Structure 1
Amino acid sequence: MFTRVYFIMFFFVAPLFSDHYISGGKRIELTPLKSSRGIHDRNTLYYADSHGTRYGVTDQIIICSEDETRLQNSLRKYRLKFIRKLSDTLFLCKTATPKETLSLCEAITQERGIKFAHPNFLLKKRVRQITDHYYKREWHLNNRSHPGADIDVKKAWQYTKGEGVIAAIIDEGIDIAHEDLKANIIGFANYDDPDSNYPDSKTGNWHGTACAGLLAAAENGIGVVGVAPKTKLYAVRYSDNDIAQDIKAFNDLMQKGVDIISNSWGSYTNLDAYNEIFKTLATRGRNGKGILIFFASGNDSQDMDEPGIDDESESPYVLSIGASTNRDKIAYYSNYGSSIDFVAPGGNSDAELITTDATGSKGYTSRNYNKHFIGTSAAAPVAAGVAALILSANPELTRDEVIDIMKKTSDKIGSYNYINGRNDYAGYGRLNAGKAVKMARSYYLRTHGVPISTDNFAHIMFESVQKFSN
């Protein structure tokens, strides 16, 4: 009898001590691995979750707290070493060994004044790709083969081309010296390589160069032109696997006054630390007006509502962008679900997008331009470019007001029913820059107390350009 009781108790108690972490209030079970390809080994324990995502756990913890006194109490109680402050609410700390990191995170999360704690995971990102001379071939801007199946940017350009707006591309491999990008790049950084500030690629992957060109390639008589060709850019190389460095990148961009951030990557693990920094930027950025953060939804034909899928693109503080084709259909590869906000041209094998490529032989081609870029990786910077045009037309808009304009002006494409204006495949529809800029110019301004009109548009634009220049 004693043996049976002991066995039953062990059966129920043992799972409490399994390897796991808590994110978004959900318990994520982890299976130990001997090693993990693609994650650097620095005194690291390796794990995988039920979907095969690999994690590296070191002796570092990210703690979220708005009460630094209670944070200090927790540091003393659990004998943690403070490393540095990542943002107003996020702190990087050190444990004695990686073996105790997971258990300490769960214990610290229970302390008063602590919102959450999880390891500073080493995560390998998944780049979201399927693998002016050219302006006439940029069907996503002006579709000649299938008129109307584009973002109608020519009507938006009658009023603005993105003047006064600062955007950022966070990615891998951004050629800041490219002939079609260098005029618009005002800053760059590398959060992966401590010995370099250039946002280059160690593996020959110049994915970020393609994304940057779609958003803001210059109008200069050569090559291609971006959706917002007069928007300025920060080119940022993300960390291959260090979450704390990514958080620092986002926080630094907020401090630099960025209006929009485009991300064509994801990990299918929307950690609480990511969600917290996204919330900070969306609510405190742009002097309280909010930074617009765009994420590619992914190219796996995946239902993002499936249990266990918690991607960065699903955060309520970012805009999740799916892909449409040159025939105004939803691209076959585009992920779907309740988190999808909008779609934008991403192309397919029948009609790809043309954009910038790394200069010379180091790129996907040897001609400085990539004619075969498709995926939600393309759709996200196109969407970010539309937002840049909206903010340029009306610089005083808040993040929520920009989103409201995009919702009200997007075209309802595809063969899906729209309930209350949206569905899980197209979100609120395919973005329309022409309609959006028109609405933005007449959108009520809380700060000025008047709508933008023909009479005062030039004055407000002058104020915005002056603010940007200073």
Structure 2
Amino acid sequence: MNAKFYLPQFFIYSVLLILSACSSDSGGGGSSTPDPAPTVKNPLLSQQWYYENTGQKSYAGLSGITGKDMAVKQAHAAGYTGKNVNVIIVDDGLDMAHEDLKTSQTYSYDFVGSDTDPTPADAGDSHGTGGAGIINMQDNYVGGLGIAPGSTLYGRNWMQDKSENGLYYSLGLKDSPTGSAQTFDYLHIFNNSWGSNICSNSAFDDTVYAIFKESYNGRGGKGYIYTKSAGNGFDSYGSCNCDDANDYDGAGNNISCQNANSGLSVMPMFVVIGASNADGKISSYSTHGSNLWVSAPGGEFGYQEDRKVEQGDKIYNLLDKYHKPAMLTTDLSGCSRGYSESSAVSATDFNYNYDSGTASDYVIIQSGSGYPAYQLYSQVGTHSDNANCNYNSTMNGTSSAAPSTTGVIALMLQANPNLTWRDIKHILATTSDNSPTLTDKVLDVNSTNLTIDDGWVTNNAGYKFSNAYGFGIINANSATTIANTYTANNWGTYDTITGSNTTDVAITDNNAAGVTSTITGMTSKIIENVMVKVNVTHADVNNIMLVLISPQGTESIIYWPKNGFKGASDFSDYALTTNAFYGEDSVGDWILKVIDVKSGDAGTLTDWSIEINGH
């Protein structure tokens, strides 16, 4: 028997947004009284390592490390379930009748039928339902348990529309897909699970930025909270050339091919999220970037132990990362729809209820772009824990990390409904785990060692930050504990200062020292976010590196060489955000360093500007 199998594709959607929003303000002041702890009776909960990591395998071949979870169990024990928080899933759809989800049509919208039921018609549109389960699986006698089971889900299947106005409506910035600009008190958290497949820079759109600034007025003036997936392009993404990234030093070492600085992810209202795995480390696929805020569980691939690869006449074991746990969550209901569709072989029998076949079956993989053709050896079968095919144990990617974060923020908003979007970001930055180790990555540039990925950097304000994790892996118990007693909105006015330098600077060819350009005389603000826009002429921007240096001497690598922009020329209003300077004073001179790492293609920095947001 031969059957087709599709590799998990991390659920990246090219240059699109997939969003879920948390809403409904309970009003009032100060902290709220926690609910009684939920009674855990959910049969699949024991396999949810992100809820409580006991070293379980989650139906995969290898286990995680005990204790490497988000401490959701402790937050639930303190009474936080996300009660009175509405979560809007803006995605490919939402299974409104799923047995383990609490849904409502009140704020839902179906872009296909122009009605209020976004349940997918296409059997393959299961991405939104998968993210929803991580947030909202109910405390009952079926399935697992979500991070915020007290929340209510609403669906807006904008992925079936993809229009600009439809996006603004889905993100709470218009009163209907074709209506007028408006914000709403009952929309709180918007979950954006998306990745970018662009292989060159696109100019920053100031008009779109101005529209999104209206989000600060949402949620009764406390601001919408937008969570955003960083992407899954560490090894590959789309059709971009990642050859240099996968062997940046000629010794087989790799660096993130994709840079998370892209599209809406550079805007300060977005909480950009990387993925972590069941070992408490950054996931193998997670895209790096100076715009990351935090990381959260997204898992690895979840293949069970008997899955092997056949190439030619040889059978090979898969790399360990393929056998590490993914994320257990909901799937479209039934065995003819979703990731657990009975007509497709899966990475694990939990997802695949094929009722015939033998242990010697070979299964042909229909590989995606960038994957070589090969075969997967599979012992097909059924699994009694998922007999009705309503759940999925192989969802992964930063598309899972975003709803993990959304769920935690829902718990925080129950703990203290008055938190502003800035308060939420601050609490996450100060309570996330920054203990995972990182090693600098060094490139030989004309016989000089140049650090192109510098691991953890501690800035002048005492914050540890990295392009891999942001401020660290989120912890639900720590975040809700701080949120409960936090004095909301005490930072004063959110303000912006800007500067620019329009003097051409020739970029020295193949020189690790690089060249610099300075913007002088910036005034004093406590930094919450820094964005730069650069214009560069260069034959191959894959061979340059951009480093921003604050007046306090902190350095942030905002664009590294040997990436997925191989062969692309020039930067035109390329926007790059960094959170590495969080909490520092902006006063003084800011320096942009440009380094060319390969001979034969020098260029020019024609101008650059800086925007500093803070208080």
What TM-score, normalized to structure 1? 0.63
Q: Which runs of 5+ in 1 are unaligned?
A: 1-53, 55-122, 448-470
Tell me which amino acid in the other structure corresponds to 2:229. A
The aligned counterpart of 1:242 is: 163
2:232 counterpart (299, 311, 315): 299
Aligned mates of 2:195, 2:210 — CA distance in 1:
16
The aligned counterpart of 1:45 is: none
Within the alignment, does 1:403 sit opposite 2:425 as a pair? yes
The aligned counterpart of 1:347 is: 299
Contact 2:103–2:154 at 8 Å: present in 1 too? no
| Higher deviation after alignment, 178-187 or 354-363 | 178-187
Tell me which amino acid in the other structure corresponds to 1:247. Y
Structure 2 matches for 1:202-217, cutoff 5 A?
203=122, 204-217=124-137
Structure 2 matches for 1:349-388, cutoff 5 A?
349=301, 350-360=324-334, 361-366=336-341, 367-388=389-410
The aligned counterpart of 2:16 is: 125
The aligned counterpart of 1:139 is: 49
Within the alignment, does 1:310 sit opposite 2:262 as a pair? yes
2:279 counterpart (319, 327, 338): 327
Greater percentage in strand: 2
| Higher deviation after alignment, 395-404 or 182-191 | 182-191
1:197 positional shift: 3.8
Aligned mates of 2:279, 2:413 — CA distance in 1:
28
**What is the number of residues matched between the two proteins?**
319
1:175 counterpart (91, 95, 102): 95
Aligned mates of 1:392, 1:337 — CA distance in 2:
30
Contact 1:325–1:346 at 8 Å: present in 2 too? yes
Contact 1:265–1:296 at 8 Å: present in 2 too? yes
Aligned mates of 1:233, 1:394 — CA distance in 2:
20
Tell me which amino acid in the other structure corresponds to 1:264. S
The aligned counterpart of 2:68 is: 149
- When residues 228 and 235 of structure 1 are mapped into structure 2, their CA distance, relative to the original with a 3 A threshold, is same
- When residues 168 and 338 of structure 1 are mapped into structure 2, their CA distance, relative to the original with a 3 A threshold, is same
Report percent identity of matched pairs: 33
1:422 counterpart (462, 465, 479): 465
- When residues 226 and 290 of structure 1 are mapped into structure 2, their CA distance, relative to the original with a 3 A threshold, is same
Within the alignment, does 1:289 sit opposite 2:289 as a pair? no
- When residues 184 and 126 of structure 1 are mapped into structure 2, their CA distance, relative to the original with a 3 A threshold, is closer
The aligned counterpart of 1:112 is: none
Contact 1:184–1:217 at 8 Å: present in 2 too? no
- When residues 409 and 226 of structure 1 are mapped into structure 2, their CA distance, relative to the original with a 3 A threshold, is same
The aligned counterpart of 2:194 is: 265
2:213 counterpart (268, 279, 298): 279
Contact 1:266–1:313 at 8 Å: present in 2 too? no
1:184 positional shift: 6.3
Contact 1:266–1:311 at 8 Å: present in 2 too? no
Look up the SS of the partner of 2:265 in the other structure.
Answer: helix
Question: 1:363-410 deviations in whole A, cap 9, x for unaligned?
Answer: 211511011111000000000111110110011111111111111110
1:320 positional shift: 0.5
- When residues 396 and 159 of structure 1 are mapped into structure 2, their CA distance, relative to the original with a 3 A threshold, is same
Look up the SS of the partner of 1:287 in the other structure.
Answer: coil
What TM-score, normalized to structure 2? 0.49
Tell me which amino acid in the other structure corresponds to 1:434. N
1:339 positional shift: 0.6
| Higher deviation after alignment, 290-299 or 246-255 | 246-255
Aligned mates of 1:446, 1:345 — CA distance in 2:
29
Look up the SS of the partner of 1:434 in the other structure.
Answer: helix
- When residues 397 and 217 of structure 1 are mapped into structure 2, their CA distance, relative to the original with a 3 A threshold, is same
The aligned counterpart of 1:12 is: none
Aligned mates of 1:277, 1:355 — CA distance in 2:
34
Question: 1:37-65 deviations in whole A, cap 9, x for unaligned?
Answer: xxxxxxxxxxxxxxxxx9xxxxxxxxxxx
Contact 1:328–1:413 at 8 Å: present in 2 too? no
Contact 2:103–2:153 at 8 Å: present in 1 too? no
- When residues 346 and 446 of structure 1 are mapped into structure 2, their CA distance, relative to the original with a 3 A threshold, is closer
Look up the SS of the partner of 1:411 in the other structure.
Answer: coil
1:255 positional shift: 2.5
Structure 2 matches for 1:102-117, cutoff 5 A?
none
1:256 positional shift: 6.0
- When residues 231 and 432 of structure 1 are mapped into structure 2, their CA distance, relative to the original with a 3 A threshold, is same
Contact 1:185–1:232 at 8 Å: present in 2 too? no
Contact 2:274–2:288 at 8 Å: present in 1 too? yes
Look up the SS of the partner of 1:259 in the other structure.
Answer: strand
Contact 1:346–1:378 at 8 Å: present in 2 too? yes
- When residues 134 and 273 of structure 1 are mapped into structure 2, their CA distance, relative to the original with a 3 A threshold, is farther
- When residues 359 and 376 of structure 1 are mapped into structure 2, their CA distance, relative to the original with a 3 A threshold, is same
Aligned mates of 2:104, 2:149 — CA distance in 1:
8
Aligned mates of 2:118, 2:406 — CA distance in 1:
20
Structure 2 matches for 1:88-107, cutoff 5 A?
none
Aligned mates of 1:437, 1:124 — CA distance in 2:
33
Question: 1:433-462 deviations in whole A, cap 9, x for unaligned?
Answer: 001111111212469xxxxxxxxxxxxxxx
The aligned counterpart of 1:390 is: 412
Aligned mates of 2:105, 2:274 — CA distance in 1:
26
Question: 1:4-38 deviations in whole A, cap 9, x for unaligned?
Answer: xxxxxxxxxxxxxxxxxxxxxxxxxxxxxxxxxxx
Tell me which amino acid in the other structure corresponds to 1:248. Y
Contact 2:53–2:69 at 8 Å: present in 1 too? yes
- When residues 446 and 313 of structure 1 are mapped into structure 2, their CA distance, relative to the original with a 3 A threshold, is closer
- When residues 330 and 446 of structure 1 are mapped into structure 2, their CA distance, relative to the original with a 3 A threshold, is closer
- When residues 340 and 304 of structure 1 are mapped into structure 2, their CA distance, relative to the original with a 3 A threshold, is farther
Look up the SS of the partner of 2:220 in the other structure.
Answer: helix
RMSD: 2.5
Higher RCO, 1 vs 2 (CA within 8 Å, ≥6 residues apart): 2
The aligned counterpart of 2:486 is: 443
- When residues 124 and 346 of structure 1 are mapped into structure 2, their CA distance, relative to the original with a 3 A threshold, is closer
Contact 1:162–1:389 at 8 Å: present in 2 too? yes
1:327 positional shift: 0.4
1:252 positional shift: 4.5
Aligned mates of 1:229, 1:274 — CA distance in 2:
34
Contact 1:293–1:319 at 8 Å: present in 2 too? yes
Greater percentage in helix: 1
